[in-house]
Amino acid sequence: MVDELDLEFKPGMTVLTGETGAGKSILIDALGLILGDRADSTIIREGAERTEISAIFDIENNHNILAMLDDQAIQVDDNELLIRRLVGRDGRSRAFINNSPVTAQTLRDIGEYLIDIHGQHAHQSLSKRDVQRNLLDDFGNYSKQLSAVMRAYADWHTATTRLQALTDSDNQDATLSLLRYQVRELEALQPVEGEYDALEDEYRRLTNAHRLLETAQGAFATLSDDEHSVYNRLNTVLTDLQACHQFDESLTDIIKLLDSASIQLSEASIEVRSYLDSLVCDPERLQVVEKRLSDLHDMARKHKVQTQQLSTLLSDLKQQLDDIENSQQLVSELAQQKSAAGEQYNEAAVSLHQYRARAAGKMSKAITQKLKALGMTEGQFRISVDNDNSPDPKPNGNDQIEFLVNTNPGQTMQALRKVASGGELSRISLAIQVISSSDKGIPTLIFDEVDAGIGGGIAEIVGKLLHELSRQRQVFCVTHLAQVASQGDQHMQVEKNIGKTSTKTRVNKLNADERIEEIARMLAGLTITAQSRDHAREMLKHTLAE
């Protein structure tokens, strides 16, 4: 059980250690909720009405996140992203990003660019085809070829969509008839750009004309229209002070201010008088405006658009009608555009395929070497890049990319998602992240017990690889091995305190001496000896020296 927990994580590698069952998974689960995992009331502490989880992320260079927030009109201050998740006793949850309410799906979408959790019971994005393709493309760094494919696809898709609409004979007659009717109807209404807003302003003035008139008349009278007006009283004060100015020159600034105020009051009175002359109470004009607004509203509701968009809608419908009525020439032009775009696409896709194949070979070899260092001595990793021979272009090329692995001798290469166990997948993921381009990818990586099933020298290599990865990314590692824990830049211990009536989980940020004790415990078990402390001290000293 956690009453309240506030943690600040630094860049680099943070290790989380503790006895089995101490509650390390609570931290991972909390981050999962921030990423949009399903929430229920079982996570709420006994006696509490709700659980609140908040996390602040630095997104200064995370352009994907910034673009998503901009699309949703969520304001960003100081390049910080604040995510809050509230879960009530009734099981309902609410989520906020920078105090703007969002859905759990939005959290999941944004979370994919914030944190990747690798473990047996967490997000396994590595098994997704799109993720595999992106990892290969990031490693290959052939953005020019990718952009060429995407541009050609966009041109081909646009021409194809328009051509299909024009050549669909089953619907063309009905579409043509509907378009002609809609254009005639809108032309009869004659919507003008900016007309609706102008009519709304006029309507407000006409419906409040009597009130405006009374208020303006009262204002004019108060300002300057009788002997007790503000203007006359101000000028009396000004005259009196000017007469006393000869006795005290310190009145100069006051007189200047009042003189300026007198001039402004006079100008304001003139403006109010002019406004009064312009006011018109015209019931007949009000009826005309009301009728016009009603007609515009009805038409907008019929076409399911904003009233201000009617003039634009008319232009669009005219263009569609013109396209169909002149379809013979347009069909020929679009067919040529589609053919040209298709040729450009095929050329760009072939070039992209060649770049991908070369990058796949290099990446496969590098990952295989890392797997052997991580204790998978018989492990083989290969990236398959096959052209699916599809007649229709695809946005990212026609390549089917699959991560294949063989973890045992005598077996054939199979898809990663089918053959890798949780522990193997974590280590394979670690190897891939280390090999991948250092300036791309998800900024925060969490490895939940990546050391499962290993020990000795292999565990030390895992720790070193994690530390290597943390030079470019923020890395969290939940571990039971001292060889891994000793590699961390920041060490946090999760412990369970059992009381008479409750059990609570705490997280302690360890200092140098406390860290020696924790690593000694991980080495020795229940009984910590002087020898285990010396061993722990030596491990940390060796790590710091590197």
Strand bridging mode 380-387 / 503-509: unpaired
Can you tell me which residue has the tokens 């003008």? Answer: 192
Beta bridge partners of 217: none
Q: What burial letters (b/e) apply to 504-523, b meaning 16+ CB within 10 Å?
A: ebebeebeeeebbebbbbbb
What percent of the chain has a predicted confidence (pLDDT) above 90?
Answer: 29
Name the H helices within 448-529.
456-469, 482-485, 512-524
CATH number at residue 487: 3.40.50.300
Residue 481 lies inside a defined structural domain of this protein:
yes
Residue at 487 is within a domain: yes
How many domains, in total, are found in the chain?
A: 1
pLDDT tier for residue 499 given thresholds of 50, 70 and 90 = low
Residue 531 inside a domain? The answer is yes
Residues 258 and 220: their CA atoms lie apart, in Å, by 20
Distance of alpha carbon 537 from alpha carbon 544, whole angstroms: 11
Q: What is the pLDDT of residues 323-356, one digit of tens each?
A: 777 777 778 888 899 999 999 999 999 999 999 9
Is 172 part of any domain? no
Which range marks the domain in which residue 530 is found?
A: 10-18+443-546
Q: What is the pLDDT of residue 121?
A: 43
Of 55, 86, 81, 56, which is closest to residue 68 (Cα–Cα)? 81
* Residue 498 lies inside a defined structural domain of this protein: yes
Over residues 436-475, the pLDDT tens digits come to 744 456 888 888 776 666 667 778 888 888 888 888 888 9
Terminal Cα-to-Cα distance of the chain (whole angstroms): 38
Quickly tell me which residue has 């081909």 as its tokens: 156
Give yes or no for a contact between 403 and 381, defined as CB atoms under 8 angstroms apart. yes
Per-residue CA distances from 520 to 86, 123, 389 (Å): 39, 32, 59
Q: Is there a domain that residue 34 lies in?
A: no
Residue with the two structure tokens 């010396």: 534
- The whole-number pLDDT of residue 70 equals 83
Taking the C-alpha atoms of residue 381 and residue 420, their distance in angstroms, rounded to an integer, is: 11
- Mean pLDDT of all residues in 117-142: 76
Kindly state whether residue 147 falls inside one of the protein's structural domains. no
Enter the pTM of the model: 0.56
Q: Which pair of tokens denotes residue 388?
A: 């699916």
CB-based contact 131:334 (threshold 8 Å):
no
On whether residue 464 sits in a domain, the answer given is: yes
Tell whether the torsion through CA atoms of 28, 30, 35 and 37 is positive or negative. Answer: positive
Q: Is the pLDDT of residue 511 over 60?
A: yes
- Indicate the residue type of 438: S
Q: Which two tokens stand for residue 309?
A: 């968009």
CB 439 within 8 A of CB 108: no
